[in-house]
Structure 1
Amino acid sequence: MNWPNNKSDGEKRRNAAQYVRMSTEHQRYSTENQADAIQRYAEERGYKIIQTYSDAGKSGLSIQGRAGLSQLIDDIEAGEIDFKTVLVYDVSRWGRFQDADESAYYEYICKRAGISVEYCAEQFENDGSPVSTIVKGVKRAMAGEYSRELSQKVFAGQRRLIELGYRQGGAPGFGLRRMLIDEAGRTKGILSRGEHKSIQTDRVTLVPGPADEVAIVNQIFLRFVNDGWSEAEIASDLNRRGIRTDLDRDWSPAVVRQILTNEKYIGNNLWNRHSFKLKKRHVQNDPENWVRAVGAFEAIVDANLFNAAGAIIAARSHVLSDDEMLDRLKEVLEENGYLSGFVINEAPKLPSSGAYQNRFGSLLRAYSLVGFKPDRDYRYIEINRLLRSLHSDIVRDIIAGVEAVGGDVAQSHNADTLIINDEFTVSIVIARCMQTGAGAYRWNIRLSTGQLPDLSIVVRMGQANTAPLDYYLLPTFDMTKSKLRLAENNGLSLDAFRFDNLAHFFDMAARAPILEVA
């Protein structure tokens, strides 16, 4: 945004911007209440609020996803402002950063540009005095500590619900369904795909699905354990018979393996295998930290049959030495004539391509150790085929997600663009992951320039190009180039648009009844 620069410095000094942020923690912190308090403060101090930066429903743990604060920092660094003061309700609204230095850093950016930050509801003046500096540092630490304590309480509550046999999100899986129950334990009905509970005290548990799906699940286990079929053979047979997964997709060895290893089929409620606490990196937890409730659901597979399948998989996937991994890789090379991440992941006798990357540093080094020099054409043909298939799946999932929140979706005549609620257009771009000679990962993105959508959803693929890593929601208005080259970290100007999932996009597409809005 551009501001006129014909005002005197004195006028600028009395102009102020306000920054307001609300997560979901308490009505006391609604953006309206914050704005009212800030307005009273401004009137007492003689400030005129000329600009508002707002982040509604945003966590304060990081700057990612907070478009309001990001825009404020960008405007200040670009000098495109006509104010000298930023008014904030209190230190916690600026952010509950887990590193107090990060909170101080964003305030320092303002100070360096000659912009002061004032906290309207705090008992200290942010005047740079030793007392204010000490108190502010304590307040920042307290804001971060509040989030840590809240995270522990939420974790304990979720753990308790798991132990009681309640489902904490996620699709039920093939052969199972989600049953909604009230606080008294009475069943209220099956939830269809995309449906969610609407009453906070309601809970969700898993129940057996249709009899034909239950029979297919048991058939998968029997063919794997008794008949010695591999996951690939089972998936191929299911696809040949025209049977679709619960997500209406083709079967793959990975989906079959997921069924063979998931304890929910014997009635166990398993949680906390992975965690993403305080908006930090996703981590895979040690098995001793998993939360398991045995017999929480009605089993649809005999426990002995399930354990037999687990024993086969465990025996096949025991920790291999470097030489054993390379010997097996060499056998697959001789069978196929070439190697790729896709070939490795589909070979039942091999660990995953990710395991080879972790063990040998990269797939290219593993290839060289077995005497294979990859022809780029092989890998690109396979990856292109996979990405084309994935594109249609992602489009279908986005349409389903928008419809699940009450939105409306239409596709353009060439299906390249989605029209959301007859209000804005979206294109979907899948960016393959490439590794440079130095070992760094890069993603080349070509944004649509023909129909100029309002928003581009860029799906950044993981290292193996088999599953999404994260998502960028890029507004065309803010993009000055049609070609982008992303690194693993891209700075505030781009990573402010990065999200781990599409929940934020679905919030944008949600429609509410007119009475609710009023």
Structure 2
Amino acid sequence: MIIKWDREGRSGDRDTAQAEQTCKRAAQYVRMSTEHQQYSTDNQAEALAKYAEARGYVIVKTYADDGKSGLNIAGRGALQLLLQDIQSGAADFEAVLVYDVSRWGRFQDPDEAASYELSCRRAGVVVHYCAEQFENDGSIGSSIIKTVKRAMAGEYSRELSVKVFAGQANLIRLGFRQGGQAGFGLRRVLVNQDGERKGELGAGEHKSIQTDRVLLEPGPESEQAIVREIFSRFVAGETENEIASDLNRRDVRSEGDRNWNRAIIHHMLINEKYVGHNVWGRTSFKLKQAHRQISPDEWIRCDNAFSPVIEQSKFNAAKAIIEARSASWSDDAMLDQLRVILAGNGSLTGLIIDEYDDSPSSGCYRSRFGSLLRAYALVGFKPDHDYRYIQINRSLNAMYPQILESCMTGLRRRGNRVDENDAESILTLNNQVRLSVSIARCMQTGAGSLRWKLRLDNRAAVDLTLLIRMDAANVQALDYYVIPKIAIADAILTLCEHNGLGLDAYRRKTLDLCFDIFRRAALRKAA
């Protein structure tokens, strides 16, 4: 009897209870980004159903991430819930079915994908990649293929990122708009591939045909008049706050039916779209790794791409005032002003800085000091960040002498002569083997996986390294690695929760098991 299960794990057969008793229970994880239509979640679910039927599984639950990138775990609520259910013991299944390695994720660090699979396996749940040509059985062959597949999945995203960026940059140079709201006094217009106007796009509306393009054009005359008024009043000597207060008093609404404030006015005064220039790529968030500011000479632009709302001379005059306002400030004066802003608000952000009249903008601070974070540090402000590692390092440093003494005692009990080189913290065994003892602090990535980093001292020619990995709380040892020099090619070795046979073969659960490696044995005298 063939039992068909829908994507929620429900059976249409009346013998459901009997089937669940005789079949192995499994969950399925499906994910679709926007890169390949053939990888729709429905198609994946169909392939997984066939795999389950052939292997004697019954799919009892579905976790689906529709339209989610596989670059990281952030935003993938279904995968997060799946891992949470497994790790908490709430999962009522023994396997997870996934279409292929790339559906699990296109992580830029292959170890991240491995760490999530390891957490499943440790909880007794096996991950099956149903469309792959290898069995995920833990063999050396499957481990090698799986690692290569993970690296290929990440590389695909990197190559796609380069191609997409090049395509977007080309469209910007042709004068087309790439994402974002139009802004007060402007409107987004949809045109076809021949440049013919098709209509205006409202707030939240997007094009539906791939070959269509978006341009900017001036909005209603009433809004254009407000934009021209803002620039004229600013050039005449009024501040952003004064202009915003007057517009609010007159009940003039900003974009999105909001009140005006200094930041909105300021960003309008420095935005070149009001003079018809199409500028893109001021910041970068490639592969969802890290936001960074791009130098102005690297921005992608097309001047005179669409009809201006104000004349270039008026924009240049406003720009000159803003630049002169910051140029007249010395570094010390800017930092003093930043301290005043910090004292008045209790914290600092770009928006808070931009709200202050007669003060350099957040952009000026970035330009002058390289980044806002460096400016914050110079005035003693620390943004929300986890600095507990400083205290953890102090605790581990205090713990180190006791651990080193325990190692020396344990080695001596195995019949070894142990000498300590105080200058290098190296133990010499029997005048032959040099052993380094290191403690690795546990770190948690943004995705929640664990990492340990070992920094090797190239000046110390050691034969073996005894690495002590701390637990997630950095309170007690998790496990131990006795690693020969030949197995470590780099000066910095990063370990994840599961590292493959190449490194985990050197892992021991207790310190005594490590010491047993060094137990001396008497040899019989040859006849």
TM-score when normalising by structure 1: 0.64
Establish whether residue 51 from structure 1 lines up as the match of residue 64 from structure 2.
Answer: no
Question: 1-side partners of 2:200 and 2:221: how far apart?
Answer: 15
Residue 211 of structure 1 corresponds to which residue in structure 2? 221
Structure 1 pair 178–194 and aligned structure 2 pair: CA distance change class (3 A): same
Within 5 Å, which residues of 2 pair with 1:99-248?
A: 99-225=109-235, 227-248=236-257
Residue 349 of structure 1 corresponds to which residue in structure 2? 358
Question: 2-side partners of 1:19 and 1:232: how far apart?
Answer: 52
Question: 1-side partners of 2:381 and 2:54: how far apart?
Answer: 69
Shift of 1:265: 0.9
Shift of 1:313: 0.8
SS in 2 for 1:110: helix
Question: In the alignment, is the contact (CA less than 8 A) between 2:325 and 2:360 conserved in 1?
Answer: no
User: What are the ranges of 5 or more consecutive residues in structure 2 without an aligned counterpart?
Assistant: 1-16, 391-443, 450-527
Structure 1 pair 273–344 and aligned structure 2 pair: CA distance change class (3 A): closer
Structure 1 pair 91–490 and aligned structure 2 pair: CA distance change class (3 A): closer
Within 5 Å, which residues of 2 pair with 1:399-414?
A: none
Structure 1 pair 241–438 and aligned structure 2 pair: CA distance change class (3 A): farther
Residue 313 of structure 1 corresponds to which residue in structure 2? 322
Question: In the alignment, is the contact (CA less than 8 A) between 2:27 and 2:96 conserved in 1?
Answer: yes
| Residue of structure 1 aligned with 2:90, choices 80, 87, 96 | 80
Deviations 1:273-311 (A, max 9, x none): 122222223222221221111111111211122112111
How much identity, in percent, do the aligned residues show?
A: 57
Structure 1 pair 326–280 and aligned structure 2 pair: CA distance change class (3 A): closer
Structure 1 pair 106–202 and aligned structure 2 pair: CA distance change class (3 A): same
Residue identity in the other structure for 1:137 = T
Question: 1-side partners of 2:381 and 2:148: how far apart?
Answer: 51
| Residue of structure 1 aligned with 2:294, choices 285, 295, 305 | 285
Question: In the alignment, is the contact (CA less than 8 A) between 1:265 and 1:300 conserved in 2?
Answer: yes
Question: 2-side partners of 1:50 and 1:438: how far apart?
Answer: 42
Residue 251 of structure 1 corresponds to which residue in structure 2? 260
Residue identity in the other structure for 1:164 = L
Structure 1 pair 255–136 and aligned structure 2 pair: CA distance change class (3 A): same
Instruction: Kindly tell me the number of residue pairs found equivalent between the two proteins.
Output: 370
Residue identity in the other structure for 1:47 = Y
Residue identity in the other structure for 1:289 = E
Residue 98 of structure 1 corresponds to which residue in structure 2? 108
Shift of 1:264: 0.5
Question: 2-side partners of 1:436 and 1:39: how far apart?
Answer: 44
Residue identity in the other structure for 1:125 = E
Shift of 1:38: 1.8
Deviations 1:321-378 (A, max 9, x none): 4422255568x79xxx9666698543322235795974554698479xxxxxxxxxxx
TM-score when normalising by structure 2: 0.63
SS in 1 for 2:327: coil
Structure 1 pair 247–108 and aligned structure 2 pair: CA distance change class (3 A): same
Question: 2-side partners of 1:236 and 1:439: how far apart?
Answer: 45
Residue identity in the other structure for 2:67 = G
Question: In the alignment, is the contact (CA less than 8 A) between 1:180 and 1:202 conserved in 2?
Answer: yes
Query: RMSD between aligned alpha carbons?
Result: 3.5
Within 5 Å, which residues of 2 pair with 1:467-482?
A: none
Residue identity in the other structure for 2:55 = R
